[in-house]
Each structure stands twice: as structure tokens, then as C-alpha cells.
């Protein structure tokens, strides 16, 4: 059994060695409310070609609000997995035996479960971000790939001796008007993955630049940047409605700032001063 956020689920059909180590960090003794069964097969066929999503790496059909997903690797025309929702509590997954050596990879494995679809039903959303702990709160660095999220997190680890919870993804949850940042079983190339939860204090939107400067962004700019970095199923209108409502609440409730930064100790000091004086109101 596993628990991610408030979503509890069971996975059957695989042996222990086929479960990624990062996924095992989310094991729980709590009773599941959802069930996945994985079947290893030698053939996967498309049984319905009325796609509501038709992308190179994923095709999706829907019947009575139940999704079936056909999943591909980039630049590969063969289906490596089919994920078929049976009812509100069960999904059958068919994984092609020719790809079995890849099943223990975090990204491949997590793609089988449509986790982002289950998360929004619990008012949880996944932010593309590096997640550090500072003053016993979560600070999230978010930006497109290549801007330097994990680099800034590593600088904070070096100069402020903080802990990095995840180098690439954060699950943001809201419970009783309080926001929390939680671990996620996929961490990109950083290989930093911990199953820990802290109250969310601030989201820092990054850009590289010649100077280190913290500044405020407009509501529109915050929204635009969050839309690019929070996972969403745009084919699901209910999901989209909740998604934009969540973003609106997040912007109004959480400190969200912009940091132009260099790769330096000075970048850490610049943001550290702001966080202490504005977010945590610490006067030294």
C-alpha cells in the first residue's frame, strides 16, 4: 500500500524488485481506497480510437467519465502501457513485456497511475519545483527546466545547510485553509527524493540574471508562470475549473516572489534577507 498526499492506493501484479526505490518511500499501513493491478502482456491494442488527447507520448479515450490511456516513449510508435479505469476504485494496467526492464524507472513507473488525475480530486497539485526546508517551512524554487531550480537549492544546501526534499517536483496540498508541501516519488535528474511534509511559506519564481534581486510580480504574471509549471489535464473541464481556482487561492494566500539571480553565495544572501524580513518577519 502507498500514500501520496491523502491518496491511498494498492498496487498488485509486480514483485518487490520492480517497484522503484523512491516509490517505496511512500509505503503505508493505512487501508487503500483505490486499487491498481498491473498485467505484464505481450500485446497491447487500441480498442477505441476516439481520442480526446492524441499526443506522441499519450493517447486518451473516455467512456462514462472513465479514462483509458495509451502511453508511449518519445520517438517510439509502440505502446509500452495501457491504463484502463474500470470504476471509481479500480484501474487495470497492461505493461508490454518488451519494456519490462524500464518499469523500475521513476518516470516510467509513475506514468502508469495517472496520479495527477487522482491528486486534484483531493485538492492536491504537482508543481515543477525544487523543494527546500528553511525555518521549518517549505520554500519552493520554480522555473522552466534549465533555469536553475536545483542549482539554487544546492547553493542553499551549501551556504545555509538546509535540507532538499525533492529536486524537481513538489506536491502542494491545502487542508483547512493551510498549505503544505509534500514529497513526490519522481525527482528528475536530481535523484533527491524524500517523503516529508512541511507548511508552505513561499514560492520563488526564478530567472537567471547579472544581479541578485527580489521583486514582486503582478497577479497576471504569477498566474502565467504557475500555469506553465503546475501539472494539469486540460482535457478534463472539471480538473481545469478546480485548477484555476486553486491557483487563484494560492496567489492570494502564499508569498510568491520573483528572484533574478546569479549562481553565487550572494544569491542565497539576497533571498535569505527577504525571507527573514518579509516572510518570517525575523529582525536580527
Name the one residue in this structure whose C-alpha cell is 484502463: 84
At residue 41, the pLDDT reads 96
Per domain, the residue ranges of the chain are 2-113, 124-279
User: In which band, very low, low, confident or very high, does the pLDDT at 282 lie, cut at 50, 70 and 90?
Assistant: low
> How open is the CA angle 19-23-27, to the nearest 5 degrees?
100
Percent of the residues in the chain that have a pLDDT greater than 70, as a whole number? 99
CA atoms within a 13 Å half-sphere pointing along the CA-CB vector of 207: 11
Q: pLDDT tens digit string along 147-189?
A: 889 999 999 999 999 999 999 999 999 988 899 999 999 988 8
Give pLDDT, residue 69: 96
Distance of CA 277 to the CA centre of its chain: 29
* 9: nearest Cα among 18, 26, 25, 67: 26
- Residues 6 or more apart whose CB falls under 8 angstroms from that of 282 comprise 135, 276
What are the grid coordinates assigned to 143, written together?
522555473
Residue 119, classified by CB atoms within 10 Å of its CB into exposed (0-12), middle (13-18) or buried (19+), is buried
Predicted local confidence at residue 190, as pLDDT: 84
The domain defined by 124-279 folds into Phosphoenolpyruvate Carboxykinase; domain 3 (3.90.228)
- pLDDT digits over 246-274, tens only? 999 999 999 999 999 999 999 999 999 99
Give the per-residue pLDDT at 238.
Answer: 87
CA 43 and chain centroid, separation? 30
Of the candidates 36, 86, 47, which has an alpha carbon nearest to the alpha carbon of residue 70? 47
Task: List, for residues 62-82, the tens digit of each pLDDT value.
Answer: 998 899 999 999 999 999 999
Query: Which pLDDT value is given to residue 261?
Result: 92
Backbone angles phi, psi at 201, to 5 degrees: -100, -40
Amino acid at each position: 500500500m502507498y500514500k501520496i498526499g491523502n491518496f491511498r492506493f494498492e498496487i498488485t501484479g509486480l514483485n518487490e524488485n520492480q517497484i522503484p526505490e523512491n516509490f517505496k518511500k511512500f509505503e503505508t499501513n493505512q487501508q487503500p481506497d483505490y486499487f491498481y493491478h498491473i498485467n505484464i502482456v505481450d500485446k497491447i491494442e487500441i480498442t477505441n480510437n476516439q481520442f480526446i488527447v492524441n499526443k506522441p507520448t499519450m493517447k486518451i479515450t473516455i467512456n462514462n467519465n472513465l479514462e483509458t490511456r495509451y502511453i508511449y516513449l518519445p520517438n517510439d510508435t509502440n505502446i509500452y502501457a495501457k491504463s484502463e479505469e474500470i470504476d471509481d476504485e479500480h484501474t487495470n494496467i497492461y505493461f508490454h513485456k518488451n519494456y519490462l526492464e524500464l518499469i523500475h524507472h521513476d518516470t516510467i513507473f509513475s506514468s502508469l497511475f495517472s496520479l495527477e488525475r487522482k491528486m486534484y480530486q483531493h485538492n492536491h497539485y504537482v508543481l515543477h519545483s525544487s523543494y527546500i526546508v528553511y525555518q521549518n517551512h517549505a520554500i519552493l524554487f520554480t522555473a522552466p527546466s534549465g533555469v536553475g531550480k536545483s542549482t539554487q537549492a544546492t547553493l542553499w544546501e551549501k551556504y545555509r545547510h538546509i535540507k532538499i526534499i525533492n529536486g524537481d517536483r513538489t506536491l502542494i496540498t491545502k487542508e483547512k485553509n493551510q498549505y503544505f508541501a509534500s514529497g513526490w516519488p519522481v525527482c528528475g535528474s536530481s535523484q533527491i527524493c524524500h517523503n516529508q511534509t512541511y507548511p508552505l511559506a513561499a514560492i520563488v519564481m526564478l530567472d537567471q540574471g547579472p544581479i541578485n534581486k527580489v521583486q514582486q510580480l503582478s497577479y497576471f504574471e504569477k498566474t502565467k508562470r504557475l500555469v506553465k509549471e503546475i501539472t494539469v489535464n486540460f482535457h478534463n473541464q472539471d480538473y481545469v475549473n478546480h485548477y484555476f481556482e486553486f491557483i487563484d487561492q494560492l496567489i492570494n494566500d502564499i508569498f510568491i516572489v520573483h528572484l533574478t539571480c546569479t549562481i553565487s553565495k550572494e544569491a542565497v544572501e539576497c533571498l535569505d534577507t527577504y525571507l527573514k524580513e518579509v516572510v518570517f518577519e525575523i529582525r536580527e
